[in-house]
Amino acid sequence: MKDLRPHDRRVSTVLVVDDEPIVREVIVRYLERDGHRILEAATGDEAVALLERDPPSLVVLDVMLPGIDGFELCRRIRASSDLPIVLLTALGEETDRIVGLELGADDYLTKPFSPRELAVRVRNLLRRAGGVHDAETSSVTFGDLEIDAITREARKGGERLKLTLKEFDLLWFLATHRRRVFTREELMDRVWGYRSQLDTGTLTVHIRRLREKIEDDPAHPRHLETVWGVGYRLTP
């Protein structure tokens, strides 16, 4: 799949992929209220064609799709792009959520969900994807790790790390608050924009994926530390 970059970032284009027409209709109605341009697909194959023809700013993606399913589509997108992805999963299917996050999804909602909450999460992801983080500095360096908020790139030993939107957000937040310990709920609030005991599994997956990318030995992390009984911190 080619590099997926929207032609015009002044207008956010959201691709909604779901095989249930009523679900798509509700999602579209709420996202259009926020001023987004909407593309719709009922199958994974339709979504692939739209992604190639008209690259969006964000994808709302149902896991259960005819043909190419949501997991495979997520994998294909992430192989060539850091395009923000929100997964829609069945209620109670924790395995689906974990697999989706492992494949690089930035966030998820379980069905049935609040379309208003989805709109808020889409808004937060697009805001993060399109702007520089609020901080006094635009770059951080410690050891062989360099993080640049303007280009939204991180490099280890000079090599560019392939980070998803939320992986970068989490790394940047911890790097600009180095040595400070944050609880799981605080990180969900500050990085994802909401606080929920039920969604801290999202954070666990992102911490693990970050360690695999920034640590020399992810099983024995030297920088992204767990402070038992409290939370996490990033130590130079």
- Using CA atoms, how far apart are residues 89 and 67, in angstroms rounded to an integer? 17
**pLDDT greater than 90 at residue 119:** yes
Q: Is residue 8 part of a domain?
A: no
**Lowest mean pLDDT, pick from 16-25, 36-45, 187-196:** 187-196
Instruction: Specify the DSSP element, H or E, that contains 38.
Output: strand 37-41
Q: Is residue 2 part of a domain?
A: no
**pLDDT greater than 90 at residue 93:** no
pLDDT above 90 as % of the chain: 47
**pLDDT greater than 50 at residue 8:** no
What does the pLDDT look like over 209-223, one tens digit per residue?
999 999 999 999 999
Mean pLDDT across the stretch 218-230?
Answer: 91
Q: Is residue 7 part of a domain?
A: no
- Using CA atoms, how far apart are residues 101 and 230, in angstroms rounded to an integer? 23
Do 143 and 119 lie in one domain? The reply is no
Six-digit token pair at 68?
A: 């190419």
Q: Which amino acid is at 89?
A: T
Out of 104, 130, 156, a domain closes at 130
* DSSP-derived secondary structure for 157-226: TTEEP---HHHHHHHHHHHTTTT--EEHHHHIIIIIS---GGGHHHHHHHHHHHHHHH-SSTTS-SSEEE
Q: In terms of pLDDT, which residue wins out, 136 or 82?
A: 82
Q: Is residue 1 part of a domain?
A: no
**Lowest mean pLDDT, pick from 67-76, 89-98, 107-116, 180-189:** 89-98
Range of the domain at 54: 13-130
- Using CA atoms, how far apart are residues 55 and 194, in angstroms rounded to an integer? 28
Question: Quick check: helix, strand or coil at residue 50?
Answer: helix
The CATH code of the domain that includes 118 is 3.40.50.2300
Six-digit token pair at 1?
A: 């799949």
Q: Is residue 225 part of a domain?
A: yes
Do 17 and 124 lie in one domain? The reply is yes
Cα separation values, 29 from 25, 58, 209, Å = 6, 16, 34
Q: Is residue 37 part of a domain?
A: yes
Domain count, the chain: 2
pLDDT reported for residue 127: 81
Do 94 and 170 lie in one domain? The reply is no
End-to-end CA distance of the chain: 37
pLDDT reported for residue 69: 93
